[in-house]
Amino acid sequence: MLMVLNSCRNAETKEESGAKKIPASTIAETIKELESKFPSPDKDSDKDLIRRGVELTAGFWIPSDGSPEEFKTFCLDNYNPQNRKLLLERFSKNLEAVYGCFMRIGAVVQFPLHVGNDPLLPADKTFAAWSPGAHLNDDWFGNKLAMILHLNFPYYSPEERNAGGLAWNDEENAAVNLGLYFASRVPGSLQQAASEIATRAELYVSDYNIYMHNVVDENGRRYFPEDMRLISHWGLRDELKSSYADKTDAGLAKQKLVFDLMLRIINQDIPREFVNAKGNDYCPTNNKFFRDGKEAAFERENDERYARLLEVFRAEKSFDEFSPLYPDAIRRAFDQGLEMTFDEVEKIFTTVLSAPANKRIGQYIARRLGRPLLPYDIWYDGFKTRSSVSEAELTAKTERRFPNAEALERKLPEILQFLGYSKERAGEICSRVAVDAARGSGHAMGAGMRGDISRLRVRVPETGLNYNGFNIAMHEFGHNVEQTVSLYDVKDYLNSGIPNTAFTEALAFIFQKRDLDVLGVVENNPDKQKFTDLDIYWGAVEIMGVALVDMYAWKWMYANPEATPAELRGAVVAIAKDVWNKYYAPVFGIDNSPILAIYSHMISYPLYLAAYPLGHLIEFQLEQHLAGKDFARETDRIYSIGHRSPEVWMTKATGSKLSPEAFVRKIEGYEF
Ligand SMILES: [Zn+2]
- Condensed to tens digits (0 to 9), the pLDDT of residues 446-462 reads 999 999 999 999 999 99
Question: What is the DSSP secondary structure assignment for residue 389, as one 8-state letter?
Answer: S
Q: Residue 142: which region, alpha, beta or left (left: phi > 0; alpha: psi -120 to 50)?
A: alpha
Query: What pLDDT is attached to residue 612?
Result: 86
For residue 619, how far is its CA from the centre of ligand 1 (angstroms)?
12
- In order of 116, 436, 455, the CA distances from 107 in angstroms are 14, 12, 9
Kindly report the backbone phi and psi dihedral angles of residue 51, in degrees, each rounded to the nearest multiple of 5, phi listed first.
-60, -50
For residue 500, how far is its CA from the centre of ligand 1 (angstroms)?
12
Question: What is the DSSP secondary structure assignment for residue 443, as one 8-state letter?
Answer: E
Q: Quick one: 583 exposed, middle or buried, by C-beta within 10 A (0-12, 13-18, 19+)?
A: buried
What is the Cα–Cα distance from 197 to 203, expressed in whole angstroms?
10
Query: What pLDDT is attached to residue 8?
Result: 37
Q: What is the 3-state secondary structure (H, E, C) of 143-178?
A: CCHHHHHHHHCCCCCHHHHHHHHHHCCHHHHHHHHH
For residue 450, how far is its CA from the centre of ligand 1 (angstroms)?
22
For residue 508, how far is its CA from the centre of ligand 1 (angstroms)?
6
Q: If DSSP codes are grouped into helix, strand and coil, which group holds residue 503?
A: helix
For residue 505, how far is its CA from the centre of ligand 1 (angstroms)?
5
C-beta neighbour count of 528 within 10 angstroms: 14
Q: Quick one: 384 exposed, middle or buried, by C-beta within 10 A (0-12, 13-18, 19+)?
A: exposed
| Residues 6+ positions from 51 with CB-CB distance below 8 Å | 31
Written as one letter, the residue type at 198 is A
Handedness of CA 354, 355, 357, 358 (dihedral sign): negative
Q: If DSSP codes are grouped into helix, strand and coil, which group holds residue 51?
A: helix
What is the Cα–Cα distance from 425 to 430, expressed in whole angstroms?
8
For residue 651, how far is its CA from the centre of ligand 1 (angstroms)?
23
Q: Are 101 and 133 in contact (CB under 8 A)?
A: no
What's the average model confidence in pLDDT over 37-50? 82
Query: What pLDDT is attached to residue 17?
Result: 45
Helix (H) / strand (E) element for 422: namely none
What is the Cα–Cα distance from 628 to 185, expressed in whole angstroms?
48
Task: State the pLDDT confidence band at 18, using cuts at 50, 70 and 90.
Answer: very low
Q: Are 118 and 112 in contact (CB under 8 A)?
A: yes
What is the Cα–Cα distance from 641 to 650, expressed in whole angstroms?
10
For residue 399, how far is its CA from the centre of ligand 1 (angstroms)?
23
For residue 443, how far is its CA from the centre of ligand 1 (angstroms)?
7
Task: State the pLDDT confidence band at 20, using cuts at 50, 70 and 90.
Answer: low
For residue 475, how far is its CA from the centre of ligand 1 (angstroms)?
6
For residue 511, how far is its CA from the centre of ligand 1 (angstroms)?
11
| 128-132, 147-151, 211-215, 252-256: segment of lowest average pLDDT | 128-132
Q: Are 600 and 234 in contact (CB under 8 A)?
A: yes
For residue 654, how far is its CA from the centre of ligand 1 (angstroms)?
22
Task: State the pLDDT confidence band at 251, using cuts at 50, 70 and 90.
Answer: very high
pLDDT above 50 (res 11)? no
For residue 641, how far is its CA from the centre of ligand 1 (angstroms)?
20
| Virtual torsion, Cα 502, 111, 467, 465, nearest 10 deg | 160
**Per-residue pLDDT reduced to its tens digit, 328-374:** 999 999 999 999 999 999 999 999 999 999 999 999 999 999 999 99
| Residues 6+ positions from 256 with CB-CB distance below 8 Å | 285, 374
For residue 116, how far is its CA from the centre of ligand 1 (angstroms)?
21
Query: What pLDDT is attached to residue 386?
Result: 75
**Per-residue pLDDT reduced to its tens digit, 615-663:** 989 999 999 999 999 999 999 999 999 999 999 999 999 999 999 998 9
For residue 478, how far is its CA from the centre of ligand 1 (angstroms)?
8
For residue 367, how far is its CA from the centre of ligand 1 (angstroms)?
34
For residue 49, how far is its CA from the centre of ligand 1 (angstroms)?
38
For residue 498, how far is its CA from the centre of ligand 1 (angstroms)?
14
**Per-residue pLDDT reduced to its tens digit, 253-300:** 999 999 999 999 999 999 999 999 999 999 999 999 999 999 999 999
626-638 in b/e form (b: 16+ CB < 10 A) is beeeeebebbbeb
Please name which of 287, 308, 307, 306 lies closest in space to residue 298, comparing C-alpha atoms.
287
Supply the mean pLDDT for the chain: 93
Instruction: Give the DSSP letter string of 574-610.
Output: HHHHHHIIIIIHHHHS-----GGG--SHHHHSTT-TT
- In order of 43, 158, 166, 611, the CA distances from 338 in angstroms are 32, 10, 18, 8
Going across the sheet that includes 433-437, the strands are: 433-437, 454-458, 442-445
| 137-151, 187-201, 206-220: segment of lowest average pLDDT | 187-201
For residue 251, how far is its CA from the centre of ligand 1 (angstroms)?
32
**Per-residue pLDDT reduced to its tens digit, 72-97:** 999 999 999 999 999 999 999 999 99
pLDDT above 80 (res 43)? no
Task: Supply the pTM of this predicted model.
Answer: 0.90
Q: Are 382 and 251 in contact (CB under 8 A)?
A: no
Q: If DSSP codes are grouped into helix, strand and coil, which group holds residue 295?
A: strand
| Residues 6+ positions from 334 with CB-CB distance below 8 Å | 158, 340, 341, 342, 344, 345, 607, 610
Query: What pLDDT is attached to residue 41?
Result: 65
Query: What pLDDT is attached to residue 247?
Result: 87
**By percentage, how much of the chain surpasses pLDDT 90?**
83
Q: Quick one: 118 exposed, middle or buried, by C-beta within 10 A (0-12, 13-18, 19+)?
A: exposed
Query: What pLDDT is attached to residue 259?
Result: 98
| Residues 6+ positions from 387 with CB-CB distance below 8 Å | 394, 516, 521, 523
Q: Which residue has the higher pLDDT, 176 or 442?
A: 176
What's the average model confidence in pLDDT over 128-152? 94
E runs forming strands in 320-396? none
For residue 328, how far is its CA from the centre of ligand 1 (angstroms)?
28
pLDDT above 80 (res 437)? yes
Q: Are 317 and 328 in contact (CB under 8 A)?
A: yes
pLDDT above 80 (res 441)? no
CA angle at 214 for the pair 212 and 217, rounded to the nearest 5°: 95
Report the length, in residues, of the chain.
672
